[in-house]
Amino acid sequence: MKTIDVFGYSFNAIKLRKLRAALTTLGVIVGIAAVVALLSITQGLQATITSELNQGLSANTLIVRPGSGGDVGGFGQGASGTGFSLYMNYTTEINALSPDIEASVAVMSRSGYIQTENLKQSATLYGIDFNQYAQVYPTFKAETGSIPTDPSENQVVVGTRINQPGQNGTIFFGTGDTIDISWVNATVLPPVDESYRAVVAGVLEEVGGFGSSGPSDTGVYIPIETAQSFFGTDQCDMIIVTLKDSDNATVTSVSKAITDHFSNQVSVTSPTAMIDMLSSVFDTIQLFLVGIAAISLLVAGIGIMNIMIVSLIERTREIGILKALGMKSRSVLSIFLAESAIIGLIGAIAGIGLGYGLAVIVAQVLGSGVFGGGGGALAITPLLTPTVFVGALAFGIGISVIFALYPAWRASKLKPVEALRYE
């Protein structure tokens, strides 16, 4: 029997029992949709986070913080309480540690706030060398105004959420305006508010939700010399080290050299390692979720097997007729498998569509607030990769065919004499 005739005959048989076929297909649709939705969402999320991280953290940088707690790749601010402090002039020591080091930049940071006539807005205050920092982070770039290469002591650069905190088009101040910058000095008792008046030289381009150590939309950037006197210290909070190479070996050896040099009293964080770790976490989560979703496919498969066995019993006589008319066992097997494959194909295609649709809806819900919360909404674009598409299609058809194997085999083994006698 020709393949096209096998499928024609099978399709005809499916058409006869539309409701039953539809319900069987629904099982496949639900299973495939669950798998595709989860894969599209997690892969989209992964791509978004990885790209935002890549923007916020240059791959060839290491971040050195005081404290011995953090492993390479850790998210934390580093353990504190060891009494160890980083000083700005340690950059020279670090630069001498390895020929793979390009440069080191010291960063001071304090929680503070800024104030204008009609806005009081909390902010993270960073004391940095503008030129060096811009070299490390390409995202440290002015959208309006400019980043002064030789800043006077009262010039500052602010993140985009500082002068338009609502992200709704209302801009409270622009370049050339003056703002009051304050922080609460808790090193003296009682704590005192320290502030000074600065002129906004530039507003940064939007960075995005993830920039845990790179430029931030809620940051206020003060020239390092100003910061030293304003914060009253030479201690810095982190030193960013740029490497000539971003491969794993270099990252590992330089990280080790730095921690060794400071007798394990610093933690060194590598964005590359962080992204790697995040990716592997995502892979695990994805595998777990897809595994759960795949169980529903298993259930669908059992449904198919069940319905095929019912169909086999109902059609015993028909199989007898087909065999009496000269149909080979192989063709009987093909007819049953083809029926199942058609159900699998329709189920898979509808499931992929439904799954992707669900992913788009979920992404919109996530993007519109649950994750966002005003601190930088996470815009996820669900990803339906060709691999997922083809995989889901193959899986849907595969499951259907595998579970139809036993009923189909039994059908093909029916003896014509007995099958014809069957009422």
Partner 1 sequence: MINMISKNIAVVEALNVKKTYMLGKVPVEALRGVSFRVEQGDFVSILGPSGSGKSTMLNLIGALDKPTAGTLLIDGVDIGRLNDNQLSDLRRRIGFVFQFFNLIPRLTACDNVELPMSIADIGKSERRKRALELLETVGLKERINHKPAELSGGQQQRVAIARALANNPKFLLLDEPTGNVDSKTASEVLSLIQNLNKEHNVSIIMVTHDEKLAHQAKRTVKMFDGEISSDEVN
Interacting residues toward partner 1 by CB under 8 A: 1-2, 5, 9, 12-13, 15-16, 317-318, 320-331, 415-417, 420
Q: Which residues on neighbouring strands pair with residue 63, listed in sequence order?
A: 240, 269
Q: Judged by CB, which is closer to partner 1: 261, or 317?
A: 317
Q: How far is the CB of 419 from partner 1 (least distance, A)?
A: 9
Q: Judged by CB, which is closer to partner 1: 129, or 318?
A: 318
Q: Judged by CB, which is closer to partner 1: 16, or 188?
A: 16
Q: Judged by CB, which is closer to partner 1: 249, or 325?
A: 325
Provide the pairing of β-strand 238-243 with 120-128. unpaired
Q: Judged by CB, which is closer to partner 1: 189, or 325?
A: 325
- What is the rounded CA–CA span in Å between residue 8 and residue 5? 5
CB 238 within 8 A of CB 107: yes
Q: Judged by CB, which is closer to partner 1: 404, or 414?
A: 414
Q: Rg (Cα) of the chain, in Å, rounded?
A: 32
Q: How far is the CB of 8 from partner 1 (least distance, A)?
A: 8
Helix (H, G, I), strand (E, B) or coil at 196: strand
Q: How far is the CB of 344 from partner 1 (least distance, A)?
A: 22
Q: How far is the CB of 326 from partner 1 (least distance, A)?
A: 4
Q: How far is the CB of 339 from partner 1 (least distance, A)?
A: 13
Q: How far is the CB of 7 from partner 1 (least distance, A)?
A: 12
- In the block, residue with structure tokens 């297909």: 25
Q: How far is the CB of 9 from partner 1 (least distance, A)?
A: 7
* Residue 48 DSSP label: H
Q: How far is the CB of 319 from partner 1 (least distance, A)?
A: 11
Q: Judged by CB, which is closer to partner 1: 320, or 407?
A: 320
Q: Judged by CB, which is closer to partner 1: 251, or 419?
A: 419
| CB count in 10 Å sphere of residue 71 | 12
- Angle of helix 18-56 relative to helix 271-314, nearest 10 degrees, comes to 180
CB 55 within 8 A of CB 251: no
Contacts of 76 (CB under 8 A, 6+ apart): 69, 70, 267
With b meaning 16 or more CB within 10 Å and e meaning fewer, what string describes 17-46? eeeebeebbebbbbbbbbbbbbbbbbbbbb
* Residue 205 DSSP label: P
- What is the rounded CA–CA span in Å between residue 206 and residue 120? 20
Q: Judged by CB, which is closer to partner 1: 310, or 361?
A: 310
Greatest Cα-to-Cα distance within the chain, rounded to the nearest angstrom = 102
With b meaning 16 or more CB within 10 Å and e meaning fewer, what string describes 185-195? eeeeeeeeebb
CB 77 within 8 A of CB 65: yes
Q: How far is the CB of 29 from partner 1 (least distance, A)?
A: 25
Q: Judged by CB, which is closer to partner 1: 18, or 263?
A: 18
Contacts of 10 (CB under 8 A, 6+ apart): 335, 336, 338, 339, 342
Cα end-to-end distance, the chain, whole Å:
26
Q: How far is the CB of 49 from partner 1 (least distance, A)?
A: 54
